Amino acid sequence: MSLLRFLGLGSSFERTVDRGDTETVRRIAARLDALPPDRARFLAAFAYVLARVASADLRVDEAETVAMQEAVRLEGGLSDAAAALVVEIAKSQARLLGGTENYVVTREFLKISSREQRAGLLHCLFSVGSADGTICASESAEILAIAEELGFTRAEANGLRARHRERLSELRGLPVKSENAQ
C-alpha cells in the first residue's frame, strides 16, 4: 500500500502528482476530493493566483478574503464552506511559498485553462484587488505581471486595467482623458 493511499489521498491524488503539478496546487486540490482531479487542480491554481494578488501588499484583509471566496465559490460551484477552506489554504500557501511558487502556479494555470478562463481570472484579480476600495500600486503591478505570465499582451492587460481606473491608487485624482480630446 502506498503512503498516499494510507493517508487517505488515494489514487486520484496520485494521478495528479504524476502530472507535474506544484506542491501548492496538489495541497489545495487534495482538499477538493469530491471534484474530478482536473477540476480540483484548476480551482487550486485559480485560488492561489487570487491569493497572490491579495497578498501583494503584504496583507490580506477581510474584504479581499470575501472577494476571493465569492470568486472561488462561483467558479467552482462550491459551497460557502468549501470555498472558504480553499481560500484559506491558498492564502496560507501564498504566505509561506509566495516568492518561489508564484510564477510556477501561474504557469500551471496557463497550461490547464482556456484563454476565456484566463480572462475571467484577470477580472477576478481586479475584483480582489479592489475589494477594499483601492487597487494599490503593488496589487496593480502584480496583476499586470500575472497577465503577462498568462499570455496577455501589455496592451490587453492595460485595457482591462483601464476599466478599473477609478480604483487604481496611482491614478486617483488625475483627470480622465476624454475620448474626443486630441
The owner of cell 509561506 is 96
Cell of 137: 500600486
- Three cell numbers, residue 171: 491614478
| Distance of alpha carbon 20 from alpha carbon 9, whole angstroms | 17
Q: What average pLDDT does the structure give for the chain? A: 81
12 burial (CB, 10 Å; 0-12 / 13-18 / 19+) is middle
| pLDDT in the model for residue 3 | 25
Residue type at position 151: G
The predicted structure's pLDDT at residue 21: 64
The number of CA neighbours under 13 Å toward the Cβ of 67 is 21
Give residue 19's pLDDT.
Answer: 46
C-alpha cell at 41: 487542480
pLDDT, residue 178, reads 47
pLDDT digits (tens, 9 = 90+) for 148-167: 999 999 999 888 887 777 76
**Amino acid 20: pLDDT:** 47
- The pLDDT of residue 170 is 57
Phi, psi at 84, each rounded to 5°: -60, -40
Query: In which residue ranges of the chain is pLDDT below 70?
Result: 1-21, 31, 167, 169-182
User: From its phi and psi, is residue 173 left (phi > 0), alpha (psi between -120 and 50) or beta?
Assistant: left
Q: Which CATH number fits domain 11-168: 3.40.1710.10, 3.40.50.10490, 1.10.3680.10, 1.10.3720.10?
A: 1.10.3680.10
